[in-house]
Structure 1
Amino acid sequence: MKDTLLEARDIHVAYGKIEAVAGVALRVARGQIVTVIGPNGAGKSSLLNAIMGLVPCSGGLSLAGADIARLAVEDRVALGMCLVPESRELFTEMSVLDNLILGTYARFRKGERNFDADIEGVYDLFPRLRERKAQRAGTLSGGERQMLAIGRALMARPTLLMLDEPSLGLAPRIVREILRVVVSLRERGVSLLIVEQNARAALQIADYGYVIEGGRVVLEGPAAELQADANVVATYLGTGGSKTPLPPGATA
C-alpha cells in the first residue's frame, strides 16, 4: 500500500485461553478511511485496543515506519495516534470545554500552552458543543457525547484517529452528522481506522475495508468492491432497508 501510515502484522490477542484476535494483518495509508466490519465477538474492538496499546498483543506494529509495538499508550498518543472507544470515556462531571482541554495532555507535556484555535476548530465541526461548552459532559445526549469524544481526540492533533463503533446507539440523523465529520477529517489529512457494526454506513465512506470473523481477516479489499460482494451483501448489508445517505464528499 502506497505511503503506509499504520501497519499491523500477525496481531494476536488472547484473554486466558480464548484467542480474540488470531493473526490479523492490516494497513492504513495516509489520508485513507479504513473500516473493519464483522459480527459481534469477531475481535474488532480487541484489535483496536491492541493497536492502541490498551491490551497485550503479539505481532508487529508500526506507525509512519517507526516500531511502536513496545511503546506505552501515552507514547503512541504523542506520536499521533488516538482512539475513541465505544464507551467514549468522558469525564462526566467536567464541562464540555474541560473535556476538550484534557485532550491536549500530550501536547501540553511537550510545552504547548495555547489551544484556542483547536477548540474553535472542534466547535466548527460540532456547533452543538459550542452551545454546550459550559455544560457537564454527563448531561449530554448520546450523540453529543460521541461528538465530544471525537472532539477531545482531535485536540491531540492525531495523524491516525481510530473510532470504535462511532454510530452505536445513535439516531440516523446523528449518524449522518458523524459520518460527515469523518469524511471532512480525511479531507484534512487525518487517516482513520473505524470499527463499525453498521457495515453499510462504514463501507459507504471508507476507501478500504477488512471483514473479520472469529478473530481472523476473511476478506479485504476496496470498500466499493466489498459493497458489491455477494457474500458481504448477504451477511452484512442485506437486500432490504434504506441506505444511510452519504454525506457530501463521501465515496461509495
Structure 2
Amino acid sequence: MITMLGNQEGTPLLEVNNLSVAYGKVEALSNFNMRVNQGQIVSVVGPNGAGKTTLLSAIMGVLGSKGHVDFDGHVEQCPQVEQMVIRGLGLVPEKRELFGTMSIEDNLMLGAFQRYRQRDKEIFSTLDEVYDIFPRLKERRSQQAGTLSGGERQMLAVGRALMAKPKLLMLDEPSLGLAPLITREIFKVIDQLRGHGVSILLVEQNARAALKLADYAYVLEMGELSMEGRGSDLVEDPRIIESYLGINSKHQDVLAI
C-alpha cells in the first residue's frame, strides 16, 4: 500500500481511511486513502475496472466495506445511505437512474425528499437555483424525463442531486456517452458549482478534463492508489501522459475545458 500525506491544505470534509471492498474473494478496492477539503474539486481517474464506481458506492453506503469514512465530522465504519444523504452527501450515479415517465420537475422534487420529510420550507427556492444553473430544464419542466437527450438527462441527474442541498456532490462518469460539446458544457457547470459552495468528488475516465478541473487528484489502478497530487501537476506528469493521455490526447483536448 502506498501511504501519502497529500491534500492537507484546507478543512477536511471527507476523509477515507483504509477503505476496502471485496466481491466474494476478489478485492475491488484495497486500503484506499483520500481526502476532500471544503470548497474543493477532487478527481479520481483511472481505467475501466480500476474500482472508481466501487469507491463512490462504498463511501455512500451502497456497498459494504472495511475501513472508515469520515464525512463532515462523523466517522462511519459502514455508512448508511439515508444518514449520509441527511448529512449532506449526494451521488449522481453513472447510469443517472431517472424516472423516465415522470416530469423533469417531479424528478427534481424527488431529490428533495428528505428535506420535505423534515418540513424544510426552502425547497422551492432551491428549485429556482437549479433552474438558474440549468435554464434548459426550466423551459422543459413539464416534459417527461425519458424524452430528454443524453446531455439533458445528465443535467437533470445533477440538478436532482442539488435539490438535497449537498455539502459534497459525488459524480460518477458525468461525461459518459456524451458528445464533446455537451461534455464541455457539463464540465463548465461542475466548475460553476464550486462557486455555489458545493464541494465535488469527480470520478471520470476522461483524465485530461478531470485533472484540469481538479484542485487535487488521485489515480486508481487495480483497486489501489498509484499516484496522487495537484491536478495541475498530474496533468503534466510524464507517467500520466503515457498511461492516460498519450493515445487519446487529441480527443481529450477537445473535451477538456
Equivalent residue, structure 2, for 1:61: 69
1:15 matches 2:23: yes
Counterpart CA distance in 2 for 1:72 and 1:96 is: 28
1:110 matches 2:118: yes
Equivalent residue, structure 2, for 1:235: 243
**Quick one: which of 202, 221, 229 aligns to 2:229?**
221
Counterpart CA distance in 2 for 1:142 and 1:200 is: 21
| Maintained 8 Å contact 1:200/1:244 | no
Equivalent residue, structure 2, for 1:127: 135
Matched letter for residue 124 of structure 2: D
1:178 matches 2:186: yes
Structure 1 residues 135-183: Cα deviation after superposition (integer angstroms, max 9, x where no partner): 1111111111000000000000000000000000001111111111111
**Quick one: which of 125, 145, 154 aligns to 2:153?**
145
Matched letter for residue 10 of structure 1: N
State the aligned residue count: 247
Equivalent residue, structure 2, for 1:44: 52
What is the Cα deviation at residue 99 of structure 1? 0.3
Equivalent residue, structure 2, for 1:155: 163
Structure 1 residues 169-225: Cα deviation after superposition (integer angstroms, max 9, x where no partner): 001111111111111111222110011010011011110100010100000000011
Structure 1 residues 12-55: Cα deviation after superposition (integer angstroms, max 9, x where no partner): 00111111001100000000000000010000000000000000
| Maintained 8 Å contact 1:28/1:193 | yes
Matched letter for residue 52 of structure 2: K
1:197 matches 2:205: yes
1:187 matches 2:200: no
Matched letter for residue 198 of structure 1: N
SS at match of 1:61: strand
Aligned sequence identity (%): 53
Matched letter for residue 160 of structure 2: R
**In angstroms, what is the RMSD of aligned CA positions?**
1.3
Counterpart CA distance in 2 for 1:68 and 1:131 is: 41
What is the Cα deviation at residue 68 of structure 1? 3.0
Q: What is the TM-score normalised by the length of structure 2?
A: 0.93
| Maintained 8 Å contact 2:89/2:166 | yes
| Maintained 8 Å contact 1:203/1:227 | yes
Matched letter for residue 133 of structure 1: R
61-70 or 215-224, which deviates more: 61-70
CA 1:30–1:244 in structure 2 vs 1: closer, same or farther (change >3 Å)?
farther
| Maintained 8 Å contact 1:147/1:178 | yes
What is the Cα deviation at residue 244 of structure 1? 3.6
What is the Cα deviation at residue 66 of structure 1? 1.2
**Quick one: which of 86, 106, 127 aligns to 1:78?**
86
1:100 matches 2:116: no
Matched letter for residue 53 of structure 2: S
SS at match of 1:60: strand
Counterpart CA distance in 1 for 2:123 and 2:232 is: 38
What is the Cα deviation at residue 109 of structure 1? 1.6
CA 1:125–1:192 in structure 2 vs 1: closer, same or farther (change >3 Å)?
same
What is the Cα deviation at residue 118 of structure 1? 1.1
Counterpart CA distance in 2 for 1:174 and 1:182 is: 13
Equivalent residue, structure 1, for 2:5: none
Moved over 6 A (4+): none
Unaligned runs of 5+ in 2: 1-7
